Each structure stands twice: as C-alpha cells, then as structure tokens.
Amino acid sequence: MTRASFVLFSVLVACDSEDTGVEPREFSDCDPIAYRRCAEPFPSSFYLRDDATSPTGVRVHLGETTIPYTTQGALSYQPSPQYFNELDGFSPMTPLIVEIPAMAITGLPGHAAIGDSLLDTSNLVVLDWDTGERHPVWAELDYAGYAIEDSRMLYIRPALPFVNGHRYVVALRNVVDDAGAPIAASAGFAALRDGTETEDWDIEGRRELYDEVFGKLDAAGWSRAEVTVAWDFTIKSAEGVAGRIQFMRDDAKARVGDSGPPYVIDTVEEYTVEENAHTWKRVYGRMTVPLYTELDGPDTMLTRDDAGMPTYNGETEVPFTIIVPRTAQTEPRALKLLQYGHGLLGDQDEVHGGYLAEVADRYGYILFAVNWTGMEGDDSGPISLMILEDLSRFAMIPERSQQGFLEFAAAVWMMQGAMAEDDAMKADGTALIDPSEVYYYGNSQGAILGGGYVASSPEIVRATLGVGGAPYALLLSRSADFVPFFALFQSVYEDQRDLVLWMALIQQLWDPGEAGGLLRQMNAEPLPGVGAHQVLLQDALGDAQVTTLGAHNMARAYGAITPGTPVADIWGVETTESGTGNGITEYDFGAPPIPTDNTPPDHETDTHEDTRRAWAAQEQMAHFFATGEVLNFCDGACYCADGACDP
C-alpha cells in the first residue's frame, strides 16, 4: 500500500462500505480531527493524494475552501489552493501547527531544550515513518500580535530539516491547561483513537491509516490511550523544491555559452585616493539574461509548460555593479571574485558600503552585485498589494526570486567569462580578475536568499552568510522589519489564528526562493551536478531583524562547528578549536536579549549591522575564503561591545 493510499479517493471507494456502514466518497476540505479550524492540523496527509507522476508519489490537495476565507469587507475572497496543489509534499522546514483550545506549553520542549524532544519522556514526538527515528523539534504557542486570549495556536518547529521524500508521524500526549487539568482529544480524533464508530467518511475512511499511526507510536513507547492528537505528513522531494531553478540555470547557460551573457558597460568611475581611499573604480553596466517569468517586472509568476516547468520567455536587461579596490591599482594582479547579496527589499547599491570597500581593498577582492529580483525595492509595493488583494498569489515572491537566482548565476558567468578579459578589468595590461574561484557574501536577506542561491550554484566555492537564517516561517514574526507587513496580514483576517496557518502555508511556496527549502542541499545532499559548499555563518546576539534561531537551523543543517569559545552553546553544533568546512560564530555586542516568544524585539537595541563591521569577523571571513578553515579571531569568546573585537 502506498504512503498516500489512505487519502486517495480511488483507493477509498474500493473499500468495502459494509465494514464501516458509511458510503465511501472523496474526503472533504477540512480534517475532522481538528478541534475548531479548517486546515489544521497542518501539514497532514489528509491534504495529499497519490500521483504517479510525482517524485514522492503524492501531490498536495487542499480543497477549494480549505484555506480560510478573508474578512476584509468588500475585498473578502476565498484564496485559491492552485499553487499549493502543484507541490509533491510539504516543506522540509515546515512548521507543524495545531490548535488545542486552552492548552498550556507545560511539558513541551522549547527552543532552549530541543534535545528533550528526543527523550522517551517527551510529550511531543516526531517520528520518521520508515525508520522510527525521532526528529528534533521544539514547540511554542503563538504570541505574534495575538487578539484572542482563550486559545493560541501551537507551532512545532523542526530543529533540523526533514528529509526530502520522507514521511513522518507527529503526536502530542497528556496535554493540559494552565491549571494542569488534562485536555480531551477532539471528537474526531477520539473516534479514531478509541474505535468509536461514526457516520463520517472523513473519519471512517482513515481507520486503517490510524492503526498504522498508532503502531508507529506504540513502537516508540507511546500508549494509544494517552495520545491527545497525532497525524502524518510527507516532505517534498529535492526535485520538487529545486527542479525549476535547475532547469532555468541549465537552459540559460546553454543559451549564453561559456563567455556568459552579453553585456554593455555604461559608466566607469575612477577615484583618487583623496576621493576614496579603498576603491579605485566602480563599473556600471547591463547584461542581457534569459527570462523565465510571464512578465519582465514585479507581480509575475514563472512561465509553465504542460509539465509545470518554466519556459524561455525572451530576455531581460539586468544592471550590475563592479567594485575594483585600490590595491588593484597600486599592485596590479589577478584578484578573487566576491559576489555580494544585498539586504531586505534593497538594491545593489549596498555594495558601495564603506566597510565592504575596505574589506575588498584589505584582502584583495573584485566585488560585484546585481539586485535580488523578486525581493528588491521595486517588489515592495506589489508584495503589499498582493497581501491585501489576493494571498493566493504569494507564489509570485519565490517564483520571481528564482529568476533572481538565475540573474545572480548569470553575473558569475559574466565575471568568469568575457568580463575577465575586458579592458575595464585590466591595469597596465594586467588582468585583474582571477576566474578560478568565486566566493559569495550576503547579509540579512542576502544570507536568507543567498543560502538558497548558493545551494543551487555549481560555481560558488565558499560562502559567508551574515546575520541570516531559515526558514522565513520562523523569521518573520520575530523580525522588527516584518511589523508593517504583519499589519497588512492582520487587516485581512479578523481571527489571527488564521495568520498562523498562513505562516505555515507560505513556507510551502517559499522553499525554492530562500535557504529554508534547500538546507540539506547545501552540503549534506547536494543537487545533481552541484557539489557540496563550504559555509561560514556569522550572527549577532540581540539582532532585532533576523533571529539567531534561524542561523542555528542553518548551522545544524550544514554540519557547522563553533570555533574556539562560544558566547553561548548552540544545540546540535559542536564546539572545537577550529575546523575545515562549515562554521558558525556568534558575536555579542552587549545588546539586551531578544524575546523568547515569536514576537519582534526592540529595534532601538538592534545589533543587525554590527557583525559585518567587526574586524574579527572580517578576518575570519577572509581566512575562511582563502583556506576553507574556520577559526576564531576574537580574544576568547566574541564579546565585542565597545569595539573589543577590533584591532
């Protein structure tokens, strides 16, 4: 029996209706094991159907009314499941959500006690369906902008990405309220657990499934009678996450050839030492890149053929910036290439930053940058309108971002190709570009999106991801940057429990356009034709824009070590003097701790910009790029207040 046979209509109707007394039919839009709200628990096999064309053998099937109806007056509408139902499973970093009215968090592991989720005594367990192995997770109640006090939705968050294509069981037992009184299972779940007959095919058609679910839990030492709720789900394939961007890369590379995309240089600005001590010149131009979106601009989706894969749709002009450091003028030689990824809804002008010019000059890099198509300044307005007018189109963000990934890749091809021989990249006849290796450096959004881009790139050798993290479903409500966008979500739904569902739903779509969907593919299970990458993570305690919890997810997924003495231990990350491969260092600038729940901290004490400017962090990055070795350049733990991490 296939993994989704319990939810496939064609299998269900083959069941003997005399066994249940209920006529088989297609399942409804809402899982009856929920206490109150449609679409939860989520994600669940209740919303999957068998599909022989899918790499996982299943396809998501949200009903026409599964997603909550919006409540914004005259603009109210029923969001469509169209783009969700293209997926072959759920996100490898999906939050698991369920509402158990009036439940307390008592006895459940939080983010400071992840290891407790692996203990036999845990009241929360997530099991690999085939191996029975426990998966590390942590739980929290939702407090983000909450207006309803009698009941909060529960997030169960993976501490490591789920394995692509694998199936899991999640269960909670002995759930209590704030007074310590037991909370009963929902009527629907109790019927499945206790063998109580009903007249509801949504329940009766799943009894065989739940016998297996309880069998998995029994093997883990859980008594059927003590389970408050349990369900199963299947994770997307790696192909399901990255298949489109890989196709676009391969198709575009074949079109542009080894020299890279054609380009024109519009302006070359040279500076004297008095004008700019660290930058000799800035080169501005435009390259012509294959286009795979329906429109050449914001608010668009990828093109699709009959198989759902992108199709070539002409060309687009992509502006670029190249920074040539002063050292290339004073000591002409071939310098390594360093691609930079800018921050939230910004643009490539961020590469002009004074600290970046100093880094390029001190360590000898040619910097180059393009905009993050899909998450640049021009996308901000359309994203806001989409949230207000049609959340069904959320896929426009990650789909246009995949075009952005392609444009980042094309910039690398250009720099390693024809640009390496361009007169603008020479000094006294000496070529200034060493095309043999390309490094990547991104901060904030440049690290969040950059983690996905680098994982899909055969050309990037090593990457430094500063103050980043994954997945967005964890980062958003904890970010001061998200407050205005969260207000838009709140205006769409009166009942803010619906927003928790949306935080889970959007992660399913966001996977191919950010680091969260491709954490395992960075080095544990590289994509076909793409080797393993080396990654250095640098974050800052007290960051008000990107929670360090997201960087911890990256570190565990990448197999990172912490070199030297850490400012705080990270569960699942080994501390050692040094290592070759992947590492994380956290920097403490003396800011107050961030909230422990899923709410944004005080922006007034933000440390988001501090790490990239610390000398110890810059030294660490340069050494890592040159050697692949992860060292600590602080004097002990990186307590960096008042310039303590500078020379």
Tens digits of residue pLDDT in 502-560:
999 999 999 999 999 999 999 999 999 999 999 999 999 999 999 999 999 999 999 99
Q: What is the DSSP string of 121-171?
A: T-SEEEEETTT--B--EEEEE--TT----S--PEEEEESSPPPTT-EEEEE
CA-CA distance, 607 to 617, in Å (whole number)? 14
What's the domain count of the chain? Answer: 2
Residue 446 lies in a domain: no
Domain stop point among 376, 411, 433: 433
Domain stop point among 201, 236, 271: 236
Residue 620 lies in a domain: no
- Burial pattern 290-319, b for ≥16 Cβ within 10 A else e, equals bbbbbeeebbbbbbeeeeeebeebebbebe
Nearest to residue 558, comparing CAs of 532, 530, 527?
Answer: 532
Residues 275 and 381 in one domain: yes
- Is residue 73 pLDDT above 80, yes or no? no
Alpha-carbon distance values, 180 to 12, 104, 106, 109, 456 (Å)? 40, 8, 8, 17, 48
Residue 425 lies in a domain: yes
Residues 78 and 178 in one domain: yes
Nearest to residue 467, comparing CAs of 344, 559, 349?
Answer: 344
Residue-wise pLDDT tens digits, 388-397:
999 999 999 9
Residues 167 and 51 in one domain: yes
Residue 429 lies in a domain: yes
Residues 45 and 191 in one domain: yes
> What value does the mean pLDDT take over residues 240-259?
98
Residues 189 and 63 in one domain: yes
Residues 218 and 300 in one domain: no
Alpha-carbon distance values, 105 to 124, 160, 495, 531 (Å)? 11, 21, 21, 42
Residues 199 and 106 in one domain: yes
CA-CA distance, 401 to 396, in Å (whole number)? 8
Q: Give the residue numbers spanning the domain of 14.
A: 9-236
Q: Which of 533-537, 554-558, 568-572, 603-607 has the lowest mean pLDDT?
A: 603-607
Chain mean pLDDT for the chain: 94
> What value does the mean pLDDT take over residues 159-167?
98
Residue scoring higher pLDDT (21 or 566): 566
Residues 357 and 279 in one domain: yes
Sign of the C-alpha dihedral computed for residues 531, 311, 313 and 403 taken in this order:
negative
Determine the pLDDT at residue 147: 66
Residue 205 near residue 15, CB atoms below 8 Å: yes
- Is residue 566 pLDDT above 90, yes or no? yes
Residue-wise pLDDT tens digits, 304-336:
999 999 999 999 999 999 999 999 999 999 999
Residue 645 lies in a domain: no
Residue 519 lies in a domain: no
> What value does the mean pLDDT take over residues 351-366?
97
Nearest to residue 400, comparing CAs of 295, 489, 319?
Answer: 295
Q: What is the DSSP string of 39-95?
A: T-SBS-GGGEEE-TTSTTSEEE---TTTSPPP--GGG------TTGGG-SSB-TTPP
Q: Which residues contact 264 (CB under 8 A, 6 or more apart)?
A: 285, 286
Domain stop point among 392, 418, 433: 433
User: Confidence band (pLDDT; 50, 70, 90) for 20?
Assistant: low
H runs (alpha helix) in 237-335: 238-256, 327-330
Residues 278 and 415 in one domain: yes
User: Confidence band (pLDDT; 50, 70, 90) for 22?
Assistant: confident
First and final C-alpha spacing in the chain: 64
Determine the pLDDT at residue 8: 43
Residues 106 and 208 in one domain: yes
Determine the pLDDT at residue 496: 85
Residue 589 lies in a domain: no
Residue-wise pLDDT tens digits, 199-219:
999 999 999 999 999 999 999
Residue-wise pLDDT tens digits, 378-412:
999 999 999 999 999 999 999 999 999 999 999 99
Alpha-carbon distance values, 633 to 74, 543, 565, 586 (Å)? 58, 21, 11, 12
Phi, psi of 435 (to 5 degrees): -85, 5
> What value does the mean pLDDT take over residues 350-366?
97
Residues 298 and 395 in one domain: yes
Residue scoring higher pLDDT (574 or 73): 574
Residue scoring higher pLDDT (547 or 1): 547
CA-CA distance, 382 to 217, in Å (whole number)? 46
Alpha-carbon distance values, 446 to 4, 117, 397, 502, 580 (Å)? 38, 32, 15, 24, 23
| SS3 category, 441 | strand
Determine the pLDDT at residue 312: 98
Residue 475 lies in a domain: no
Both structure tokens of 401? 């971002």
> What value does the mean pLDDT take over residues 300-305?
97
Residues 297 and 367 in one domain: yes
